[in-house]
Amino acid sequence: MKAVVKLALVATSVLVSMGVLAQSIVVASTTSTEQSGLFSVLLPAFKKASGIDVKVVALGTGQAIDMGRRGDADVLFVHDKPAEEKVVAEGFAVKRLEVMTNDFVVVGPAADPVKVKGRDVVDALKKIAGAHAGFISRGDKSGTHAAELRFWQIADLAGKQGSGYKSCGCGMGPALNMASSTGAYVLTDRGTWLNFKNRGELKVLVEGDLRLFNQYGVMLVNPAKHPHVKAVDGQKFVDWVTGSTGQATIASYKIGGEQLFFPNAVK
């Protein structure tokens, strides 16, 4: 038995020296970064530059931040600035850095039965609620869900969204599928929408409102709270994604010639 254990230790040492057992980190992220396809471009570029593998756990932003609080992730890559600032203030993340933006849009049936088309998201929600039109809410404490709730609040319609309002407790892709199959309206980030294949009769109806601005942040989970956090490798990811190469990689990601995310890290 001792000989077997010794051989296993020697083999592991050899694999490490050969780079076969790669370094890895866990990034808890919003579903939009994964479902938009961004990570399929971003992570291979980071691996090539650093040799570090990244395991992404894609959740709603609220759930991703909770992973950081528990120490179940090394890095958070999310999009709900108030919640991000709170987790830093609580000491569970080291520092919040802005990394990129895109925007939210309201999509709905091309026929637009309640005539929401335009630039004003609050006016659109008032029309949807007044007509009791179908609206799919993610209902999952994600960054998109948090933004949607803010818009209902601004419209003075919190809890009064109409009988057509449905909360799915799901990611952006499933929410879009539900809207497509039922002819409902839904708030989505533009990146996931551009990568969404099952559009059916849905089209973008509300866009351009400055309130639809969508900021993403990245932060290292605090190793002072959770000593097992891979702080060195996690910080390498944070530095790379907010650095010139990572920012250029984000800018290069396009679908059908349209850029999905706009880097805006400030060093």
Cα angle vertex 82, ends 81, 85, to 5°? 80
DSSP string, 11-80: HHHHHHHHT-S-EEEEEEEEHHHHHTTTHHHHHHHHHHHH-EEEEEEEE-HHHHHHHHHHT--SEEEE--
Q: Is 73 exposed, middle or buried (0-12, 13-18, 19+ CB in 10 A)?
A: buried
Check residue 119 and report its DSSP letter.
S
The contacts of residue 44 (CB under 8 Å, 6+ apart) are none
Number of domains present in the structure of the chain: 2
Check whether residue 207 and residue 145 sit in a common domain: yes
- Which residues 6+ apart lie within 8 Å of 226 measured at CB? 71
The model carries a pTM of 0.84
The answer to whether residues 94 and 7 belong to one domain is yes
Residue that is last in its domain, among 212, 227, 253: 212
* CATH code for position 240: 3.40.190.10
Give the tokens for residue 101: 């933006």
- Counting residues of the chain whose pLDDT is more than 90, the rounded percentage is 88
Rounded CA-CA distance 121/195 in Å is 22
Identify the band that residue 22 occupies on the pLDDT scale cut at 50, 70 and 90.
Answer: low
How many Å apart are CA 100 and CA 27, to the nearest integer? 16
Rounded distance, CA 244 to CA 227, Å?
29
pLDDT tens for each residue of 172-225:
999 999 999 999 999 999 999 999 999 999 999 999 999 999 999 999 999 999
Task: Dig out the tokens for 116 from the structure.
Answer: 């929401």
DSSP assigned state of 187 = E
* Residue 184 and residue 194 in one domain: yes
Secondary element (H or E) of residue 137: strand 135-137
Q: Which residues pair with 204 in a beta bridge?
A: 107
Total Cβ atoms within 10 A of residue 148 = 23
Kindly tell me if the per-residue pLDDT of 17 is higher than 50.
no
Cα dihedral 126, 130, 133, 136, rounded to 10, equals 40
Are 161 and 208 within one domain?
Answer: yes
Q: Which comes out higher in pLDDT, residue 184 or 10?
A: 184
Instruction: Give phi and psi for 45, each to the nearest 5.
Output: -65, -40
* Region of poorest pLDDT, from 1-15, 70-84, 105-119: 1-15
Same structural domain, 8 and 139: no
Q: What is the CA radius of gyration of the chain?
A: 21
Torsions phi, psi for 185 (to 5 deg): -90, 155
Over 90: is that where the pLDDT of 21 sits? no
Task: Please tell me whether residues 114 and 89 are part of one structural domain.
Answer: no
Domain that holds residue 151: 103-212
Cα separation, 2 vs 38, whole angstroms: 47
Residues 169 and 226 in one domain: no
